[in-house]
Amino acid sequence: MSKEKLLVVEDAPDISSLLKIYFTSQGYEVMTAMRGQVALEICRKTPPNLALLDVNLPDMEGYDIGKALRASARTRHIPIIFLTARGEKQDRLKGLGEVQAEYYLVKPFDIEEVHTIVKGALERARQRNLAHPVTNLPTAELINEQYRALISSTGWAMAQVHINGFETFIHAYGAVVGEDVLRFTALLASEVVNELGTSDDFIGQMVVGPDFVVTSTRDSLKLISEKLVSRFDAEVGLHYNYKDRRNGYITVNDDAGLLKQVPLMSLSIGVLTSEDGPFYDIRELSETAEDARQKAQSEARELGRKSHVSYGRS
């Protein structure tokens, strides 16, 4: 299991260093930011499992960071804990009410108490099953919420993204390296969406299987999908050893015990837009998206391509 990631947003170097050293020693991966804009950029690229926010920062208040996280479908699931010197009643109400923080702690604090609160918030998040355990992308009910928003609106596009050959890769290289591939794909999707999409776009990951969901506008999603397949094909080889990367395939035993050659991993992406509808419920939408994804995989085989994008209903 990968380490849970904490984001510490604190402009006092001594406090930031204390939190990073302590939580790193407790087995967490700790990212730090001294400014709000840096914190938001971190959350867009590599969403943490939890954010510890100070209120008084050089460029914005911690409340504004929290509100920005809550306003985006890509980050609204992240638990927030305020850790601040501002302890008036109106400050607490703002943090707990307007930002919907998990907890509001006033400095000076006891580091072990903070740890207990962090563990509780992370456990509640896991029980709600709102984030993928490896990539921390929105999953499960948050994806269904996004689907519901799509079928009640127009002008949207969504992509169902699948990593072909992932299961065979895990069999050959192991589950730990497989988690690296999932993180690589999630980071790649975030980078491409940040470059070609908007902050309103959504990236989610299915709980089971190497499957992702991206939503955006029609024009943006076409560019996003094409860039995704191009970069994935160019960069996924780094997860293989030199021999397999050079050959362009891995050799594994099939069910009969015979050796077979399996191509390197690729992406199949099925894209739907609101014009492919109407869709009357989220099951119809998700099943139609999966059909489009399978169409992309079939077309790739017919055309002799690696990764491939297919558009619209079959």
> Where in the chain do CATH 3.40.50.2300 domains reside?
5-128
Say yes or no to pLDDT of 178 above 80: yes
What are the pLDDT digits (tens) for 106-131? 999 999 999 999 999 999 988 887 88
How many other C-beta atoms lie within 10 A of the C-beta of residue 252?
A: 14
What pLDDT does 255 receive? 75
Say yes or no to pLDDT of 314 above 60: no
What are the pLDDT digits (tens) for 52-91? 999 999 999 999 999 999 998 889 899 999 999 998 999 9
> Where in the chain do CATH 3.30.70.270 domains reside?
141-311
Q: Looking at domain 141-311, what is its CATH homologous superfamily?
A: Reverse transcriptase/Diguanylate cyclase domain (3.30.70.270)
Q: Is domain 5-128 annotated with CATH 3.40.50.2300?
A: yes
Task: Say which range, 166-175, 252-261, 282-291, has the weakest mean pLDDT.
Answer: 252-261
**Residues near 185 by beta carbon (within 8 Å), at least 6 away in sequence:** 135, 161, 163, 210, 212, 232
What are the pLDDT digits (tens) for 194-250? 999 987 899 999 988 899 999 999 999 999 999 999 999 999 999 999 999 999 999
What are the pLDDT digits (tens) for 17-57? 999 999 999 999 999 999 999 999 999 888 899 999 999 99
Average pLDDT of the chain to the nearest whole number: 92
What are the pLDDT digits (tens) for 10-19? 999 999 999 9
- Give the whole-number percent of the chain exceeding pLDDT 90: 79
What pLDDT does 199 receive? 79
Dihedral Cα 121, 123, 128, 130, nearest 10 deg: 80
